[in-house]
Structure 1
Amino acid sequence: MVGVFLSGTGNTKHCIQKFLTALDSDAKCVPIEDKESIDAIRKNDEIILAYPTQFSNVPFMVRDFVIRHKDV
């Protein structure tokens, strides 16, 4: 299991770390901006995507990430 996150202030990072620790103590968290995030996604069957909402919408960076890597 891997958690991929976008966190500007650190709140989302904190939340996903707590969430993953409760689910699987061996799970890893990777920032969406990190080049390692794609490799982590490829190596795991279970992926948790965490991001802050912006006016009930997905942030542009997350939407762009998903569109660019939809074939992974």
Structure 2
Amino acid sequence: MAVTILFLGPLRDLAGTEALEVGAPLDWAGLLSAVAPAVAEQLRLERVNVACAGRVLADKTGLAAKDGDEVALLPPVSGG
């Protein structure tokens, strides 16, 4: 039983990997403890979003990933 965490953009550089597999189920506290401290610090920022099973969460602290889900960590989008 596992959840895959995907690190996108600059979060990938902070994590040092593209993906990490962790035990399921996975909640917000579990996510913060599963990733590197530098990534966890970024996740606490309002501008960083979290998607679970293809849906961006309105409240990322309500994360409830289950076996087979992918959790994508989405850095802020820059634009011009």
Structure with more of its chain in strand, by fraction: 2
User: TM-score under structure 2 normalisation?
Assistant: 0.27
User: TM-score under structure 1 normalisation?
Assistant: 0.29
